[in-house]
Amino acid sequence: MGSTETGHTDLVTGATGYSGSYVARLLAERGRGIRTLTRHTEDVPGDIRAFRYRFDEPARMADAFDGVDTFYNTYWVRFGRGSFTHTDAVTNSLALIETAARAGVRRMVHVSIMAPSTDSPYSYHRGKALVEEALQSSGMEYAIVRPSVL
């Protein structure tokens, strides 16, 4: 699965998740070829090419970005789960940005949060600010979406 009638291929992280599924559906309705990085490849609809997250081996995620025009990043963790924290989400997000930039992705749309700040008392907001800083220095064109509620 690659580009479709528009000749463009986009990658949406978490295309089976809460926000990623909406992004993927809207892009598909516009004739875009869709890929996703996800933990649950078995849940991905047949019209989306699925790749598994490989944060421990970012080079293995590079295939997912090959030929991608725009990367829509909805990856994050709202609440820490067990030993997984916002710090881990930052590390993983930085791996995604670096992998996309190395693969030659032209543009990235990143879903952040309203009022991210490295000075925030909240790890969620601090983490989002760090990811935004990395994106801004990545060399890719970018847009940052900052919803107040997600």
Comparing 73-77, 115-119, 127-131, the range with the smallest average pLDDT is 73-77
pLDDT above 70 covers what percent of the chain?
Answer: 94
Average the pLDDT over 121-130 and give the result: 95
Q: Which two tokens stand for residue 20?
A: 């990623």
pLDDT band at 98 (very low <50, low <70, confident <90, very high): very high
More confident site: 73 or 81: 73
Dump the DSSP string for the chain: ----TTS-EEEEETTTSHHHHHHHHHHHHTT-EEEEEES-GGGS-TTEEEEE--TT-HHHHHHHHTT-SEEEE----SS-BTTB-HHHHHHHHHHHHHHHHHTT--EEEEE--SS--TT-SSHHHHHHHHHHHHHHTSSSEEEEE--S--
Closest of 76, 87, 1 to residue 44, by C-alpha: 1
CA distance to 73, 82, 122, 138, per residue, from 20 (Å): 8, 23, 24, 22
Phi, psi at 72, each rounded to 5°: -100, 110
In CATH terms, is domain 9-145 a member of 3.40.50.280?
A: no
Q: From the CB of residue 137, how many other CB atoms can be counted at a distance below 10 Å? A: 10
pLDDT greater than 80 at residue 4: no
Q: From the CB of residue 148, how many other CB atoms can be counted at a distance below 10 Å? A: 7
pLDDT greater than 50 at residue 25: yes
pLDDT greater than 50 at residue 1: no
pLDDT band at 39 (very low <50, low <70, confident <90, very high): confident
pLDDT of residue 46: 83
Average the pLDDT over 95-110 and give the result: 97
Average the pLDDT over 51-76 and give the result: 92
pLDDT band at 5 (very low <50, low <70, confident <90, very high): low
Tell me the C-alpha distance between 57 and 78, whole Å: 23
